[in-house]
Amino acid sequence: MPKRFRLTRRVNIAMTEDGYRKLRRFAQDAGLDEGEAISFLFENFDSVTDADTLGHRLRLFNSDLEERKR
Q: Does 4 map to a domain? A: no
Q: Number of structural domains, the chain?
A: 1
Model-wide pTM > 0.85: no
Q: Does 55 map to a domain? A: yes
pLDDT digits (tens, 9 = 90+) for 21-51: 999 999 999 999 999 999 999 999 999 999 9
Q: Does 8 map to a domain? A: no
**Residue 15's CB: how many other CB atoms inside 10 A?**
12
Residue 5 pLDDT: 73
Q: How far is CA 69 from the centre of its chain?
A: 19
SS3 47: helix
Say if CB 23 and CB 37 are below 8 A apart: yes
CA separation for the pair 23, 30 (Å, rounded): 10
| pLDDT band, very low/low/confident/very high, at 2 (cuts 50, 70, 90) | low
CA separation for the pair 22, 28 (Å, rounded): 10
Q: Does 1 map to a domain? A: no
Q: Does 7 map to a domain? A: no
